[in-house]
């Protein structure tokens, strides 16, 4: 192999090696971040719940209140239920999202839990339409943005495919001023008359594959080095 060709091969191989090692190191950084996030979530979901007022104040101050355990008291306005499509344990159905109005005049949208498609309509589960004052313990979850392959929400048909807090609030209360919390609450599993909606649907098992990804990138870097050494040695012997 001419010297110029060997130099070019070496430069390209070195650049590729730097990229592969950089990707591996980046995945290790992501691993550290993800482990910290998982630890924080575990701590939050096991902590004593804070009041809705405190959670709202922290959110308005710019704090990320995701998975913060919150306790809220008030009454559900069951006439304003909204239905968010999901699949739970292989069964298609809906999350029932209902505004909870507190004695202080605050409102928060509560994801009460899952119902199968056959029980979407309130008439099919009248026992679960709670009319008296209730105390809800739930996890705060931020509004969502529409994913690339997620359908548009069908507001008029009350079929929601991503949780658009502003659009849901407008569909419930119109454009008039309403003091609505800047997050959803996902209800914990609890005893509900008739058993529906079924709470406790929050996904807490965040995927954490960053170590495997890092190992893959480092192995590719090692393979590159081995192939480079074998190839160069073979060309030099043939010269």
Any domain includes 222: yes
Any domain includes 218: yes
- pLDDT value at residue 175: 77
Give the containing element (helix H, strand E) for 112. Answer: strand 107-116
Distance from chain centroid for Cα 47: 20
DSSP code at position 47: S
Over its length of 239 residues, how does the chain's per-residue pLDDT go in tens digits?
566 778 888 899 999 999 999 999 999 999 999 999 899 989 999 999 999 999 999 999 999 999 999 999 999 999 999 999 999 989 999 999 999 999 988 999 999 999 999 999 999 999 999 989 999 999 999 999 998 999 999 999 999 999 999 999 999 998 766 789 999 999 999 888 888 999 989 988 778 999 999 999 999 999 999 999 998 888 777 76
Identify whether residues 130 and 219 lie together within a single domain: no
Identify whether residues 16 and 129 lie together within a single domain: no
Neighbours of 130 (CB within 10 A): 15
Identify whether residues 14 and 86 lie together within a single domain: no
How many domains does the chain fold into? Answer: 2
* Distance, CA of 193 to CA of 23 (rounded, Å): 52
Identify whether residues 8 and 100 lie together within a single domain: no
Identify whether residues 128 and 162 lie together within a single domain: yes
Identify whether residues 122 and 80 lie together within a single domain: yes
* Distance, CA of 95 to CA of 160 (rounded, Å): 9
The model's pTM is: 0.81
Identify whether residues 116 and 77 lie together within a single domain: yes
Distances, alpha carbon 219 to alpha carbons 4, 145, 212, 239, in Å:
28, 36, 10, 30
Identify whether residues 190 and 111 lie together within a single domain: yes
- pLDDT value at residue 2: 63
Identify whether residues 80 and 106 lie together within a single domain: yes
* Distance, CA of 98 to CA of 184 (rounded, Å): 10
- pLDDT value at residue 227: 93
Identify whether residues 78 and 183 lie together within a single domain: yes
Any domain includes 180: yes
Which structural domain, as residue segments, surrounds residue 213? 3-39+209-238
| Contact residues for 84 (Cβ-Cβ < 8 A; gap 6+) | 94, 95, 97, 111, 160, 161, 163
- pLDDT value at residue 177: 60
Identify whether residues 77 and 187 lie together within a single domain: yes
Name the CA dihedral angle for 79, 82, 87, 93, rounded to a multiple of 10 degrees: 40
3-state secondary structure (DSSP) of residue 29: helix
Any domain includes 221: yes
Distances, alpha carbon 40 to alpha carbons 13, 66, 70, 93, 205, in Å:
41, 10, 16, 30, 13
φ and ψ at residue 102, rounded to 5 degrees: -90, 165
- pLDDT value at residue 3: 64
| Residue corresponding to tokens 């160069």 | 232
SS3 content of the chain, % helix, strand, coil (to 5): 45, 25, 30
Identify whether residues 22 and 84 lie together within a single domain: no
Any domain includes 183: yes
Any domain includes 53: no
CATH of the domain at 86: 2.40.50
Any domain includes 203: no
Any domain includes 9: yes
């Amino acid at each position: 192999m001419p010297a110029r060709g060997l130099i070019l091969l070496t430069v390209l191989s070195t650049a590729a090696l730097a990229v592969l090692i950089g990707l591996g190191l980046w995945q290790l950084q992501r691993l550290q971040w993800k482990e910290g996030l998982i630890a924080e979530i575990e701590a939050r979901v096991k902590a004593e719940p804070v009041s809705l007022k405190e959670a709202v104040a922290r959110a308005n101050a710019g704090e990320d209140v995701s998975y913060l355990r919150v306790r809220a008291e008030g009454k559900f306005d069951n006439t304003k239920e909204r239905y968010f499509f999901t699949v739970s344990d292989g069964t298609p159905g809906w999350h029932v999202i209902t505004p909870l109005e507190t004695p202080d005049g605050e409102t928060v949208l509560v994801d009460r839990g899952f119902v199968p498609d056959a029980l979407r309509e309130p008439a099919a589960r009248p026992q679960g339409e709670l009319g008296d004052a209730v105390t809800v313990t739930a996890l705060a979850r931020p509004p969502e943005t529409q994913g690339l392959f997620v359908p548009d929400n069908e507001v008029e048909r009350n079929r929601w495919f991503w949780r658009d807090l502003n659009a849901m609030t407008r569909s419930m209360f119109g454009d008039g001023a309403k003091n609505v919390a800047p997050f959803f609450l996902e209800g914990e599993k609890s005893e509900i008359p008739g058993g529906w909606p079924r709470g406790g649907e929050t996904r807490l098992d965040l995927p954490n594959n960053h170590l495997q990804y890092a190992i893959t990138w480092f192995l590719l870097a090692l393979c590159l080095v081995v192939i480079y050494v074998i190839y160069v040695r073979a060309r030099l012997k043939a010269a």
